[in-house]
Amino acid sequence: MRIEYLDVATSTNDVVRSYLSGGEDVIVCAERQTGGRGTKGRSFLSERGGVYLSALTFYENLPASRAFEVMAHAAVAVCRTAETFGVRPLIKWANDVYAAGRKLSGILVENIIEGGKVKASIVGIGLNAENDVSALGGIAVSLRELSDMPFTAETVRAELIRNLRLSSDFSEYTRRVGYLSETVTVSENGREYRAKLRRVLPDGRLEIEEGGRVRALSSAELAILPHK
pLDDT digits (tens, 9 = 90+) for 161-176: 999 999 999 999 999 9
SS (HEC) of 125-139: EEECCCCCCHHHCCC
Report the pLDDT averaged over residues 43-53: 82
Confidence of residue 222 (pLDDT cuts 50, 70, 90): low
Domain 183-225 has CATH 2.30.30: yes
Handedness of CA 201, 77, 166, 61 (dihedral sign): positive
Confidence of residue 136 (pLDDT cuts 50, 70, 90): confident
pLDDT at 167: 95
DSSP assignment of 159-228 equals HHHHHHHS---HHHHHHHB-STTSEEEEEETTEEEEEEEEEE-TTSPEEEEETTEEEEE-GGG-EEE---
Domain with CATH 3.30.930.10 in the chain: 2-176
Q: How far apart are the first and last CA of the chain?
A: 45
Domain with CATH 2.30.30 in the chain: 183-225
Please provide the CATH number assigned to the domain covering 2-176: 3.30.930.10
Q: What are phi and psi of 5, to 5 degrees?
A: -115, 125
pLDDT (tens digit, 9 = 90+) per residue, 64-73?
A: 999 999 999 9
Model pTM above 0.85: yes
Question: Is residue 228 over pLDDT 50?
Answer: no
Task: List, edge to edge, every strand of the sheet that includes 117-127.
Answer: 2-9, 26-33, 51-58, 117-127, 102-114, 96-99, 89-92
pLDDT at 54: 97
For Cα atoms 6, 9, 11, give the angle at the middle one, nearest 5 degrees.
Answer: 125
